[in-house]
Amino acid sequence: MPFTKTRAHNEFRSDTFTVPTPSVLAAGMASTTTLGDAVYNEDQTTLALEAKVAAITGKESGLFAVSGTLSNQIAIRTHLLQPPHSVLCDHRSHIYIDEAGGLATLSQAMVSPVRPTNGIYVTLEDLIENYIPDHGDIHLAPTKVVSLENTCNGIVMPLDEIKRISAWCKEEGLKLHLDGARLWNAHVATGISMREYCSYFDSISLCLSKSLGAPVGSVLVGTKQFTCKANHFKKQNGGGIRQSGILTAMASVAIDENLPQLAVAQAYAKDMERFLEQHQIALEWPVHTNFVFIDTKKMKMSTDLLEELGKKYDVNLMGNRIAFHFQNSPEAVENVKKAVLECYQDSLTNPYDVRGALRTYKIDN
């Protein structure tokens, strides 16, 4: 597909900045787009998107939600029945660090955050090590849900590990949720089908507004009984949408047209990985898909300076993560390299010691 420069061409803070293409926008206003009230399940365009994503993932049912945060939180709330209970997940999980404590407020849940012993992805052994069995000990909040994230920081979780964890969850009677905000990226990187990935989970949250370029939305998939109850929590939390056909028509075209474009972003990321390797600039995490994390702590590079140098080279950067998407321009990618190299060179004479955890996201309120 020919490259069309958009306002996101120099945006590397996140793939959430992808913007609707003209054809995505047009779909929202098309005469074929229905305007039914989706709270009454009467919007055919929305029902069609939900069925489409359910078919892609091999699940019985789909539920459109306005965000990945809402989709994740109502999924876990639906799985959790009676506190005290807890959720077992990777310590980097979005549901744990970036959903404003939703697990505590909506689900009254504790979280057992797990650090991968291999430093890359959580294994069954890591989860078992942190599992809280429901053996009647009244001191504890037993594990009832395991939540994985694929990709997590852009890292693709090996399918064999997913299979092991899924089998163990079934043995232990635990529900298994996937934050699949960027599962599309794992699918494109590995060639493993969305259906295969999703077959091991009770529920999956898929984002349409990251990398795919839909302006709004996620789809939560699972059994019909599950999505019906999740819809109840969606409505409870203000997620009921009236004429959502305008949004779901755009999301449907975004899937069709932009899914193949994810390979463009992943190629940019691999190019950046090679560039960093050439200059012996360390990575914090391996590059599997569209994210490149520079180990600025190890390199003693200042992320504030990096963001400033980004402005100098007309690219938007945030923290130590470089998030690529198909709407980035080749020129902007080269400008990111200039900013990174200048920041690295500065660190050689002005080493910067980071104190405390490095926060990636900076959102001006």
Ligand X SMILES: Cc1ncc(COP(=O)(O)O)c(C=O)c1O
* Site of interaction with ligand THR (CB under 6 A): 14, 16, 94, 98, 361
Out of ligand THR, ligand X, none, what residue 207 binds, judged by CB under 5 to 8 A for its kind, is ligand X
Spatial separation of the C-alpha atoms in residues 177 and 71, rounded to whole Å: 11
Here the contacts of 227-234 (C-beta below 8 Å, separation 24 or greater) are 227/60, 227/61, 227/62, 227/63, 228/61, 229/78, 230/63, 230/74, 230/75, 230/77, 230/78, 230/203, 231/63, 233/73, 233/74, 233/77, 233/78, 233/106, 234/63, 234/65, 234/70, 234/74
Phi, psi of 270 (to 5 degrees): -65, -40
Q: Toward ligand X, which CB reaches closer, 28 or 102?
A: 102
Out of ligand THR, ligand X, none, what residue 43 binds, judged by CB under 5 to 8 A for its kind, is none
Q: Toward ligand X, which CB reaches closer, 181 or 332?
A: 181
Q: How far is the CB of 361 from ligand THR (least distance, A)?
A: 4
Q: How far is the CB of 200 from ligand X (least distance, A)?
A: 18
Out of ligand THR, ligand X, none, what residue 284 binds, judged by CB under 5 to 8 A for its kind, is none
Contact between 102 and ligand X (CB under 6 A)? Answer: no
Query: Pick from 210, 234, 288, 337: which binds ligand X (CB under 6 A)?
Result: 210
Q: How far is the CB of 277 from ligand X (least distance, A)?
A: 26
Out of ligand THR, ligand X, none, what residue 234 binds, judged by CB under 5 to 8 A for its kind, is none
Contact string (CB under 6 A) for ligand X, positions 132-151, x = contact: -----------------x--
- CA atoms in the 13 A half-sphere facing the CB of 278: 9
Query: Pick from 11, 50, 161, 179: which binds ligand X (CB under 6 A)?
Result: 179
Out of ligand X, ligand THR, none, what residue 295 binds, judged by CB under 5 to 8 A for its kind, is none
Contact between 68 and ligand X (CB under 6 A)? Answer: yes
Segment interacting with ligand X, rule: CB under 6 A, options 42-50, 206-214, 273-281, 336-344: 206-214
Segment interacting with ligand X, rule: CB under 6 A, options 3-11, 61-69, 159-167, 286-294: 61-69
Rg (CA), the chain: 21
Query: Pick from 67, 130, 316, 329: which binds ligand X (CB under 6 A)?
Result: 67
Out of ligand THR, ligand X, none, what residue 361 binds, judged by CB under 5 to 8 A for its kind, is ligand THR
Q: Toward ligand THR, which CB reaches closer, 13 or 85?
A: 13
Out of ligand X, ligand THR, none, what residue 90 binds, judged by CB under 5 to 8 A for its kind, is none
Q: How far is the CB of 73 from ligand X (least distance, A)?
A: 9
Query: Pick from 13, 77, 94, 175: which binds ligand X (CB under 6 A)?
Result: 94
Q: Toward ligand THR, which CB reaches closer, 126 or 179?
A: 179
Binding site for ligand X (CB under 6 A): 16, 67-69, 72, 94, 149, 179, 181, 207, 209-210
